[in-house]
Structure 1
């Protein structure tokens, strides 16, 4: 029998209650703001690369622009110029901005506004690669062969100027009509090559629908964000740079990597049984990455197998080292060693990893302040990753509860993603809600009707049963 929804908080109040629940800072201390306003970076020795026609590709309305690119053909291969905001030029080691950034770890995004890693005067101003502005950058130049494999990498500090700010949809449309900016016309060819190499490396990509919250106070909506080809290809350029950074640090025996252990044989065997139960053919000799790349993400059995595969991607973290390599440098999800260096405006660790690469490639000692920070970075980043994940999940859960509070007793179509003995994880298709459904022997990878039985708005919980 339908039950009533359990009371506040109301959608009319936005997400202030979650900010309070997770103790998110509302502003920056006065000394942090003062330093951010007054900083005057030393630009001595910085290369002038302002003649290169850099462009940025980000979500619509973004102001904290970390990356800009110029892609071109070079003989039968390619050249990638990738400019990353040089946040390190604006942050005094041990100063107020540095201390506050270490406390925060990363920018945390909520539907009603971000909690930034750095003061907006830096993140949306002096460090952001905004169009038409000369900006300090860490400039990566990577040459690649005809298969998209890197053959040479150079990294240095430079001045750059972005000439255009694009979003993914704009670039996608321009490529399809043959009107794309010259700096990105090589993106489809190079992006496809890099995607193929990723499958060959064993990189695991889960094409699960990504939930997003849109709207405003009192009118929040829940949807999914499709990932178009341009976004996937753009991500490959970032991954290429992160893998190049990891190679530099591993060769030098000092740095900080993003790591993920390889799945054990029991987990692979379990996934193979799941595929069989879902009716997905998995030929002997075909790896996980190749199997997943060949699935149609729109089919319910594919979504169920993607969900099962998340079990193989547990244990991600950060590994720092100096004076020798750690026992493992691998990232199983990428299929290669990898380091975060491409988002220093939004993520703390990138600034330190970039300083290691700059020093190593210039033949200079890694700065003492970077060496001193390396041991604590894995702890700081793991903590902030956990917080960001919990906040994101809480925001989605809250909007789900708000939207469904008046629909108790209603029936919905859902895909069974992962079944347990007496319940299952389901994906309701409209509105796109993930939740738990009571019922024995629910069929994984199939669509079933479910009934909404309860909503607790305060605890952000929704409950379903098979209809």
Structure 2
């Protein structure tokens, strides 16, 4: 087997010899005795090394997809000078300007490139598909082509929208079948070569990236046709039990089931979290002559064969195909293929390391430039969350957060820090002022504390799985500790978190752990202390001591005076959500002109109720919520219950109520938002709030359950005595709330525009 040259001088000499050989090569006439095929190329706008063309024909039973690949193996023969440079370089390296080609430009961008209007030798993979885009048969043969047209991705998309263009029908057909192929792969459980719900690209090796620039439909066409060709050839090899360079990909033993991985990709909104999970769960893809299968694509066989101009593995597989087609001996022994696979992997790793070092140095220079100067803080505050996140990463690597502290504090106040940045600063900054400020922010949103801790465990090499430990109570309040293994030692908090709801208790347990980490007060599980829960009496509540919940009375709603004009229903709803109580229950009895509304809130087994009696149901609910708030304030401030006197209805109230109801019975509910076409990107939460305020409905109520990576938000609106509810799931609370509001808006539109709307 050939190896890379031992010196720069030798490498240069061989490269110049290869250039001379490439320039001297001519395409023999015998190549044009092969079957001629049809096709077009679609590539980047500046690409010159065009090594694949495609064509598609519809059939009564499905379609025939033809992928024509440049026949590099015909001219680059084993042992030649061109073969030596291909072995030395293994692949074309693409730079910001130009490239370092695997083969001389005279071949890669001219004599073997499938240029428009030029005859070129090809290897055709013809795949017959049924209507479900499943492979029925595969045929491989030597051919030649004159590419009918060279398209960029943008041009191909534009032609698809232009019915009069001569290639419009072909491109539309290709796009339709690319979508079918993509859907067929999804149905088969593939996670690679797909976008997840948050817009991150998962490549065929299971690596998560964010695509650069605009995406085109034509890119999916090429991707799906190339994956189709690679899998078809791999199965062609496997059916013949042929040694080849298979592209194998496996999951690690610690990886969850495929369905769980797919669910995590569906619901996780953090790019860093997705990337970290996939790195933990999946091995790197590798070449091997022994067939194992491809986990990310969920295929029993896969290989690379569509880029022989710029990738050595594809060229080697072409030589094996051509040997089979001509019934010649296999060009490589198994041990030679194994050595080639190891060699390719080694050079790829070296290239990756060199590339990472290059970008690391460039990022370091950029980082130093951004943190220096008198206006540095203002400039850092003005950065996007993503850009500032890169700055925080550099600060963590340098173990120096001082230059960005002021900007970080300002961004905290403006809620402009990602979970990733919060995690890095909390765990690594060592700045107590900054850490305590972050903890105060997390105190206001405990579910974010869970996200921070989960991400920290994924990122810190010596931190391991998070576990919840429950005190074993069947009734609220629920008690939870969090355990995290650090450097092999289990760490937890001395006291548990406590809440009326299990999910909230878990979030608070994560927050407690982070607080103990910052204050260096983490303990072993043996040092845990279970607090004595207060006994709750069910008799003589007026003489019972108030429940011992020290944090509740500090909630502003429990300590601030209630004033007319406030939204008491909303205040009570927010209070219950913040403290993890069950949401208030409202019950209506009676009829006009005397509606009776009873509001009930259960806190630690005790029931607090308030009544409202008036000629309007909405006003009765408003009064009942206020009465309940007064009960709660009195109980948590002094341990006493109070009786709330209900105002008597006046004759004027009765008449106004009757007139109002008569108007409601005859006037339809109308608002521009009830006719507005809803599209993603609009402010659904604001729309719903505005609609409720304008029409005098109770403000929307939002309730969250779940935790990272899956939050479930339920939005509820009471409109004209009817309950409208919508639910949405997302890896981010804001997105879950956003789409839940959209669901309710759609329900309201359908109800008030449809047959069931109020007349």
Instruction: Give the TM-score of the pair, scaled to structure 2.
Output: 0.45
Give yes or no for contact 2:161–2:168 (8 Å, CA) kept in 1. no
Check if 1:247 corresponds to 2:235.
yes
Give yes or no for contact 1:64–1:345 (8 Å, CA) kept in 2. yes
- Using the TM superposition, give the Cα deviation of residue 46 of structure 1 relative to its aligned residue in structure 2, in angstroms: 5.8
Assess, with a 3 A threshold, how the Cα gap between structure 1 residues 95 and 172 changes in structure 2: closer, same or farther: same
Summarize the alignment of residues 381-460 of structure 1 with structure 2, pairs less than 5 Å apart. Answer: 381-408=344-371, 409=376, 410-411=380-381, 412-414=383-385, 437-440=424-427
- Relative to its length, the structure with more helix (as a share) is 2
Give yes or no for contact 1:66–1:85 (8 Å, CA) kept in 2. yes
Check if 1:115 corresponds to 2:88.
no
Assess, with a 3 A threshold, how the Cα gap between structure 1 residues 64 and 26 changes in structure 2: closer, same or farther: farther
- Using the TM superposition, give the Cα deviation of residue 50 of structure 1 relative to its aligned residue in structure 2, in angstroms: 4.0
Check if 1:106 corresponds to 2:91.
yes
Distance 1:351 1:134 in 2: 20
Partner residue of 2:532? none
CA-to-aligned-CA distance 1:401-436 (integer Å, 9 cap, x gap): 45444311423443679x99x969xxxxx9xxx999
CA-to-aligned-CA distance 1:51-103 (integer Å, 9 cap, x gap): 62x11111111000111011121113111111101111111210111011111
Gaps of 5+ in 2: 1-7, 202-209, 398-415, 428-438, 440-447, 453-759
Partner residue of 2:738? none
- Using the TM superposition, give the Cα deviation of residue 195 of structure 1 relative to its aligned residue in structure 2, in angstroms: 1.1
Summarize the alignment of residues 88-167 of structure 1 with structure 2, pairs less than 5 Å apart. Answer: 88-167=73-152
- Using the TM superposition, give the Cα deviation of residue 141 of structure 1 relative to its aligned residue in structure 2, in angstroms: 0.9
**RCO higher in structure (CA 8 A, sep ≥6):** 1
Gaps of 5+ in 1: 1-21, 211-221, 270-284, 321-325, 425-429, 447-467
Partner residue of 1:267? 255
* Aligned counterpart for 1:55 among listed residues 33, 40, 43: 40
Summarize the alignment of residues 318-397 of structure 1 with structure 2, pairs less than 5 Å apart. Answer: 318-320=287-289, 326=290, 328-336=291-299, 337-360=301-324, 362=325, 364-368=327-331, 373-397=336-360
Give yes or no for contact 1:195–1:236 (8 Å, CA) kept in 2. yes
Distance 2:101 2:451 in 1: 39
Distance 1:224 1:307 in 2: 20
Assess, with a 3 A threshold, how the Cα gap between structure 1 residues 246 and 223 changes in structure 2: closer, same or farther: closer
Partner residue of 2:261? 288
Q: Which moved more, 1:434-443 or 1:339-348?
A: 434-443
Assess, with a 3 A threshold, how the Cα gap between structure 1 residues 59 and 413 changes in structure 2: closer, same or farther: same
Distance 1:290 1:192 in 2: 22
Partner residue of 1:39? 25
* Aligned counterpart for 2:274 among listed residues 285, 288, 305: 305
Give yes or no for contact 1:209–1:226 (8 Å, CA) kept in 2. no
Instruction: Give the TM-score of the pair, scaled to structure 1.
Output: 0.70
Assess, with a 3 A threshold, how the Cα gap between structure 1 residues 363 and 251 changes in structure 2: closer, same or farther: farther
Q: Which moved more, 1:34-43 or 1:137-146?
A: 34-43
- Using the TM superposition, give the Cα deviation of residue 123 of structure 1 relative to its aligned residue in structure 2, in angstroms: 0.6
CA-to-aligned-CA distance 1:210-255 (integer Å, 9 cap, x gap): 8xxxxxxxxxxx9933443321232111011111111121122221
How many corresponding residue pairs? 376
Partner residue of 1:15? none
